[in-house]
Chain A
Amino acid sequence: MSGYPEYMQASLKKVAATRPARLEKAREGREVVKAMTLAEREEVLNKFHPDYLPDARKPVRVGPNNGEEMTSRVVDLLESYPRINPDDFDLSEPDYDTDVLIIGGGGGGCMAAIQVANAGMNAVLATKLRVGDSNSMMSQGGMQAAVNPHDSPTIHYLDAIGGGHFDNNPELVQAMTMDAPRIAAYLEELGVMWDKDSEGRLMTESGGGTSRRRMLSCRDYTGAEIQRVLRDEVKNHPDKITIVEYSPAVELLLDEAGEAAGALLYNMETGEYNVVRARTVIMSTGGYGRLHIKGFATTNHYGATADGLVMAYHAGTKLLYMDSVQFHPTGAAYPEQIVGFLITEKVRGLGGQPVNKEGELFVFPLEPRDVEAAAFIRESTERSLGIETPTGRVGVWLDSPIVNLLNGPGTIQTALPAMVRQLKRFGIDMTSEPMLVYPTLHYQNGGIEINADTQTTLAGLFAAGEISGGVHGRNRLMGNSVLDYNVFGRRAGHAAVQRAKALGDRPPAKLHMDHVRAYRKELEEAGIPETSHAPILLPEYRNPEVLKKHRKDYDPFLGEFI
């Protein structure tokens, strides 16, 4: 039985009718349709990528990047007032005193914490939800690492920097691609079960924009497998790592020299604020998908609200490429309950093809993500060859049944169990019918500027993972984010240990939040009205009709009376 409504059946028949010819072509080689030239890529991006819409960007009026154009929603967030008043807090008696404070309990934070513990130092790992709750947990497709004989870190470097439109920081790409094989081995030693053949060869697939098969995977639970192992390892060091859950940081704390030396945590359960003093701080709070930029649905975790970006900016840390948003080409577009959910790029890596309403393969399936996404939008809008959903959305088909025809029966079931399970829950059998997809907000390409040691422009503050910028230029390739948080999480851990050691027996810092006062003053002087506050911590999904019935002097956002 079909999982799709009656009116879509005619289009589905066309997809099935063109499948044998498309399969034939795919068997001949990978280039089922000619890939775009750089000029063609630029054209489709300029006309159809959401980053290039007229009001997509605007200049930010405060902070270290003053005057620079950024994604409009990000500017609104950076131009929001701090959610706390520094005068309300006594910072002289910290609740936690530690060597390294790690803010964010996803992949990057866990990786860093393990390094700190292994070096014999203490860490506080503060996180908004539970340890491991993060986008890291959700990545499906894989992690790039040049491990095959015909591949090399050099080719990986070229792929990554070309995919990023040559805007990547070369030093960071070097660190990432050269560290990759070592990270694969390191994770294996921790017990991560990479997909391997019976002789131990790592299974590799290709992804958008890669010129070799370089994607290591753990079925399509790659992120979950890595993250649950890292989380377990963090919990194996209870004497060194203090985990503080449900306690997001709301502002950084600086020392007398203006260097990062702690943070103010907000215990969401009890409402109290706790002071953490540390010799050094690692920021790894992840990205911003839950800002729903341009109204797009997102693949991101509930906690992805750019809190760390805001805090670091308040403290004077410079950001990079905050004008560039990654929309993943294949978010689910039907049924409504799973709109925006990630359909892993691995489907296309295994031979899945994007086809339009008429059953035509309209774009090379593995263009870099931004190009592929823009091509989907072009097909659905300008060319009107998308498929409308009952709720008024539009999407294109991602022909998945072809994967089994191409690679042998059972491939989908073995390689993509998470996808099969998820779609089955909502009535779609991806082994027999295609999926309906449309671009979805996926990744923060830019972020806090760092060097290869993850040092930010603020002394004492390191940053790792999606929160950082420069690694991926203006477009990240599949499998490089899992690699990113592992490589730079590890490097951040090492760098923080070095700094904490170098500070030696320096007396404990006298903490302050003068930067927060200064930031507020800057906002006021720029004439920006106090209509919103940040970091936002939680996305607002409550029914507006219910919020209307709240007390008027109660701010549901701040969770307090005003």
Chain B
Amino acid sequence: MRSRRVGCIYLDIKRGAPIITAMEEKEVEVKEPAQEKASDENPKENLIPVFIMGKRFFVPESFTIITAMEYVGFQFKNAVGCREGFCGACATIYRLEGDYKLRTGLACQTVVEPNMYLAQIPFTPAVKAVYDISKLKPELVSIQRYYPEVFRCVACNSCTKACPQEIEVMDYIQAVKRGDLETAADLSFDCIMCGLCAVRCPAEMVQHNIALLARRLTGRYLLPRSHHLEERLAEQREGSYEKDIEELMGLSRKGLTKRYTERDLDFEVF
């Protein structure tokens, strides 16, 4: 047996559902996973108990939440996506037995733990402003207009703690409030829009949509334009390369093979 310091909520696994048993911090006894394995209720070695929507299942200990749920017979019709941590479809909240903390994660990127109580959040209700990006200014006022609640932020940092991408969510919200959209865009860049920040926010913001607007404004207006790209487009408007490509298109397979094998490799950019 080992102990874990807990806060106000104690999860009673015997009843199969979280219940509040103590209102102050205390030490509780928590079973070691190894002992759990050996218990009579556990049919196979290396299987551990997890509670999916409060119901107990035994799953292999090395599986991710997604594969563990499939292992016990779930077939996903939502709350699943790329399965590689890029799409944000499998946001999940969970608690561990004997621990008050509400944890967050992506089901495809989180390995199961013994006595984990989990629920997936396939969809986050979130305000999404409708706008014409070409008519906006890259300034705070544009965000303020659509998401005035950004000023309700109390800097509690719940969003940052909830982020499975370890993004400094609160910091980018502060940057937005300062009108520093470029910093907000940079800090939020790795956002996969799972919405866990918005679920946890006591100010009821939709951080991920605010960040998206900040990034679009940055990409369109604030980043310096590429002269090379503009020159290339101008050349193409003049019809450059059309003849060259048509010549290639007219070559026999043999002729094309020759041109291909003889092409020079040049990796000096400028």
| Chain A residues close to B by CB (< 8 Å) | 30-31, 38, 129-130, 132-133, 135, 137-138, 146-150, 152-155, 157-159, 161-162, 166, 170-171, 174, 177-178, 181-182, 184-185, 188-194, 196, 198-202, 204, 206, 211-213, 218-219, 221, 223-225, 228-229, 232-233, 235-236, 238, 246, 268-269, 299, 301-303, 336-338, 341-342, 417-418, 421-422, 425-426, 538, 540-543, 546-547, 556
Contact = CB atoms under 8 A, between A and B. Distances in A.
A150 B269 contact: yes
A208 B133 CA distance: 36
Contacts of B261: 38, 162
Contacts of A538: 75-77
Interface stretch (B24-32, B197-205, B229-237): B229-237
Contacts of B73: 542-543, 546-547
A191 B84 contact: no
Contacts of A30: 265, 267
Given A150-B268, A191-B215, A538-B75, A137 B86 contact: yes
B229 A181 contact: yes
B7 to A, nearest CB: 26
Contacts of B18: none
Interface string B240-254: 011011001100010
Interface string B59-98: 0001110010011111111101111111101000000000
Contacts of B270: 148-149, 201
Contacts of B189: 193, 218-219, 221, 225
A279 B68 CA distance: 44
Contacts of A202: 226, 228-229
B111 interface: yes
A342 B269 contact: no
Nearest to A229: B216
Contact of A418 (B72, B85, B218, B242): B85
Interface string B202-222: 000000000010011111100
B81 to A, nearest CB: 5
A435 to B, nearest CB: 14
A191 B220 contact: yes
A148 B249 contact: no
A302 B134 CA distance: 35
Q: List 3 A-B pairs, minimum CB-CB distance, nearest first.
A: A191-B216, A200-B224, A546-B73
Contacts of B232: 146-147, 181
A421 B165 contact: yes
A130 B84 contact: no
Contact of A221 (B70, B86, B266): B86
B40 interface: no
Given A181-B229, A193-B185, A418-B190, A200 B223 contact: yes
A432 to B, nearest CB: 19
Contact of B82 (A138, A159, A162, A235): A138
Interface residues of B, number: 76
Contact of A199 (B71, B85, B224): B224
Contacts of A246: 77-78
Contacts of A135: 82
Given A137-B87, A166-B253, A198 B224 contact: yes
A236 B236 contact: no
Contacts of A154: 241, 244-245, 248
16 contacts: A130-B89, A148-B228, A149-B231, A149-B270, A152-B244, A166-B260, A184-B229, A191-B217, A193-B218, A200-B227, A219-B189, A269-B78, A425-B109, A541-B67, A541-B75, A556-B75
Contact of A301 (B64, B83, B185, B223): B83
Given A154-B244, A193-B189, A211-B264, 7 more contacts: A185-B229, A190-B220, A192-B219, A211-B265, A246-B78, A418-B85, A421-B166
A541 B70 contact: yes
A170 B248 CA distance: 9
A265 to B, nearest CB: 14
Contact of A181 (B63, B75, B233): B233
Nearest to A196: B223
A229 B111 CA distance: 30
A226 to B, nearest CB: 10
Given A148-B269, A162-B260, A302 B78 contact: no
A132 B64 CA distance: 23
A137 B82 contact: yes
Contacts of B89: 129-130, 133
